[in-house]
Structure formats: structure tokens, C-alpha cells
Structure 1
């Protein structure tokens, strides 16, 4: 379940609602590519901007169109009651697992975060992936807290933030975590530019934004790392450097991925919930240049 390439598609929408046809098209493309799992309603899926009923609909649509590919559904929300409601709708839709970030307006304590995961774990009949994303939640997991949460019955994976590009430092970080978590709990890397380093350093999975648009390319990198061919995985990542540079310049992957999806016709414009916007003007022209440079038009 929590190994290999987990591809995260956008949830294309405008202020009138979700573009279900475009979303289904993205999901079917991932299913046809035979990714290892499809992750919906993560940060790339704009989960924090959707109502509970919209999230239930997305979970249902994804499962219905994913074929045999397992679906991971994000359930994070401000209140525990809403997390539990999201978890229930995801399970009813047929999700094989759920993804939970400690979302909050007020800064959470370690005990509050542990209690959140403990409460949700008791309610689940499917595995749970811990979503460690301090860039959006502003909560910093300690290794010790990860170790405590990983002992909970339903926890089966930890989606860790980017590890940088220092392979030795990444190995040390992963080794430190593995010493604290059960053997059956996997570690997955997020942050596309760090994927090759994370996988080569021992991560079991890549939770990928770009994999949600270009699954075959992301699978090639993943399979190279899984086969122990670190050099090939690094080479494939280096080839994507113009794209990684856009991530760095524009504050992450969401706006870049959404802009690519609009330009290439995978979704209609606009595709992000207001007040978010895709890149425009000269910034959009830069993305168009990278699309041409990397032959991403198809």
C-alpha cells in the first residue's frame, strides 16, 4: 500500500464547484499508468478549501475511476469531529487508506496532535498515513512524537517533508526515524525535488505532485530507485531541474502544477479555489518555456 509511487492529482474547481469531468480524467490517466496508489485531497487536491460533502464526492469519484489502483484519501480538518466525518465518508467510498495532517488555526501541542491521531485511529478500519507538512500546518513533529504516533494500531506510513539533497544527511534522518517506529510502518518522501534523494536514502514511497500529471516519468524515477540504481534516479531528477526551479521560485508545487495543467489542457481555467490563482503574465510564460523545454505538452 504505502510503497512506490503515490500520485496526487489536482482537484480542479472554480467558484461554481468541482470540475468532475476533469478530475475523473486525471484519475483515469493515473490508473492507466498503473501507479502504486492515487492520493486525493492532499495539499495538491486543495482539501482545506472544500466542504465535507465535496470531499465525500471526490473520494467517491476517485475510487470509482481508479480501477484496481488503491486510493488514499486526505481527511485533515480543523476540528476532530470533521476529521472523523471525512474518515467515515472516505471509508464508505471504498478508500484503501487515509492521510491525516494536523490542521489547525491555533498552534497545537504535541499531546493534542497525539490525541488527534489516537482518536482517529480508533475509528478506522483502514490504514492511516501521518502527513507531516510543517509548511502548511505550521506544526513541527519531533522524532519522538512520530515514534509515539507510529505505535497506534492503524498507522502504517509517515509522509515526511523534503530531506534536502545531501544523501548522507537524508540517510541519517531516515535511520533516526526507523529506530523509533515499528518495522511495518513505511516512510514516504514528499517534495518532488527531493524525491530521488529520499528514495535513494531509504524511503519506501514517493508522495508525488508531478506524478499526478506525469505518472510515467515519475514511475521511471521511482522504479530506478527501487531497483537500487541511484545514479539513474538522480539523473532523471536532474533532468527535471527546470521544473524544480519553478517550484522554488513560486513557493511550492501547487501553483506550478495547476498552471501546467491549465496550459496543457488537462483542466480548464481557472482550476484553483479563490483566493488562490495560477501563475499569470510573465510568470506563466516562464512555465510555458519549461513545458516546451521538458516536452511536457502532451
Structure 2
């Protein structure tokens, strides 16, 4: 579950509620493509904008429509009390695992973050992926903290925010972290533009934004890297470089993937919870041209 391609789908929504039909369609597409796991309610799934009841419903829908593909559910929340409640909901729904980032309004300390994971893993019956996402959480894990957390029961993976772009430096980064964590804990790269570099450097998984919408090309890149075909993985990533650039220009992949889903008729427009908005205007036209040129359907 915490290796290969983990696809992170959007949670299509409007101010009237979650578009359950569109969400089910996205999950079914991923299952049919053969992704290794599906992560609902990650950052791409806009988890923070939903109530507990809505998140429980999304978890049930994801598992219902995943056709047996392992489903990971994001359980991030500001208070440990609420994280535990969301973990309970995810497990009741049948989640294969959970994803947890240390989100907070106040900047957290290293000890506070360790305490969060210590408390949550004590109550879990499914494995957990540690979500290292400083761009959103404003919290930076030290390698030593990763090592401490990885020793906790139920920790199965670490989702790192990226690796250095230079291959040797990327390999050294992965090896440095690997030396501090148990052998059963996997390392996954989550910045799409660096996925090929991370996988070629020894990461076990790609936690992918684009994979949540376009799984075929994402699977091809993942499988090439994991089969030892580093040049082919790099070639596939280089082909997608214009898309990576567009995502970088708009704060990451969420707004771009939302627009792509709308352009491809997979969701209604708009599909993001306000105040979030998919890219529009010239950027949207550029995206449409890219999707056609890259034959992403």
C-alpha cells in the first residue's frame, strides 16, 4: 500500500455540497487504471474544508468505489481530539491506512508533533503515513524526529515533500533518512516534478497529485523507475515539464488539476470549495493546450 503509485484524487464540491457522482467516477478511474493505492482527503482532496460528517462520507465513497484497491484516508485536523475522531471514522469505513500531517494555527514544536503521532498511533489498528508538508503546515521535520516517529507502532511510511533536483544529492538525501528509520517504513516522494528523481534515488512510493487525475502516465513513470529504467522515468517526467511548470506558477497542483478535471468533463465547474478557485483565463487556455499536446485524458 505504501509503495508504487499512490493517487490523490480531488474531492469535487460546490457550495451545495460534495459531488458524490464525480468523486466516485474519479476513484473508479484510478481503480481501473491499476494504481497501487488511492489516498482520499489529502491536500489535493481539500480535506480541511469539510466537516467531520462530510469527510466520513467521502471515506466511505472512496472505499466503496475502489474495487479492492487499498484506500488511505487523510485524518489531519487542528486538535488531537479531532484527529482521533477522524481516525475512528476512517477505520470504521474500512480504510487500509491513514495519512497524517501536523497541521496547526500555532507553529508546533518538535515535541508537540511527536506527541501527536505517539497519541494517534496508540489508538490505530491500521498503518499510518507521516505527511511531511512544510509548505502547508509551516512545520519542518528534522531527520531525528522522523527517526523517533518511525519507531512508533503502526507507522508505515513517510511522505517527504521532495528531494534535491540533482540525482546524487537526491540519493544521498534518501539514504540519510533511510539510515534513521526501520526497514519496514517506506519513503515516498510527493512533489510531482521531482517524482522521477525521487524514485530513481530510492524512494519506494510516489504520492501523486497528477496521478489522481491522469493515472496512466503516472503509472508508466512509476513503473519505469521501480524497474530500474531511470532514463525512461526521467524522459517521461521531462515530457511533463510544461505541466510541472504551470503547477508551480499556481501554488502547486490543486488549482491546475481542478481546472483539468473541469476541462475534461470529469467534474462540474467550479469543483473547488470557495474561496479556492481553479486556474482561469490565459492559464486555463494554456492548460487546455497542454492537455491536448500531452494526450492526457
**TM superposition score category, shorter chain reference:** over 0.9
Matching residue of 2:13: 13
Partner SS, residue 130 of structure 1: strand
Matching residue of 2:235: 235
Q: Aligned pair 1:202/2:176, yes or no?
A: no
5 Å matches for 1:172-191?
172-191=172-191
5 Å matches for 1:41-120?
41-120=41-120
What's the CA shift for 1:287? Answer: 1.1
Q: Aligned pair 1:4/2:10, yes or no?
A: no
Partner SS, residue 129 of structure 1: strand
Hey, what's the Cα distance between the residues in 2 that align with 1:293 and 1:162? Answer: 27
What's the CA shift for 1:267? Answer: 0.6
Hey, what's the Cα distance between the residues in 2 that align with 1:137 and 1:15? Answer: 25
Matching residue of 1:271: 271
Matching residue of 2:215: 215
Q: Which moved more, 1:267-276 or 1:286-295?
A: 286-295
For residues 232-279 of structure 1, the C-alpha deviation after alignment (integer angstroms, 9 at most, x for no partner) is 000010111110110121111100111100111111111001100011
Hey, what's the Cα distance between the residues in 2 that align with 1:224 and 1:295? Answer: 19
5 Å matches for 1:279-294?
279-294=279-294
For residues 149-199 of structure 1, the C-alpha deviation after alignment (integer angstroms, 9 at most, x for no partner) is 000011010000111321111111111101110000000000111000000
Matching residue of 1:164: 164
Matched pairs, number = 297
Hey, what's the Cα distance between the residues in 1 that align with 2:52 and 2:164? Answer: 35
Gaps of 5+ in 1: none
Q: Aligned pair 1:256/2:245, yes or no?
A: no
Hey, what's the Cα distance between the residues in 2 that align with 1:170 and 1:164? Answer: 5
Which consecutive segments of 4 or more residues in structure 1 shift more than 2 A? none
Q: Aligned pair 1:124/2:159, yes or no?
A: no
Hey, what's the Cα distance between the residues in 1 that align with 2:237 and 2:36? Answer: 19
Hey, what's the Cα distance between the residues in 2 that align with 1:248 and 1:37? Answer: 25
Partner SS, residue 184 of structure 1: coil
Q: Which moved more, 1:97-106 or 1:278-287?
A: 278-287
Hey, what's the Cα distance between the residues in 2 that align with 1:97 and 1:292? Answer: 35
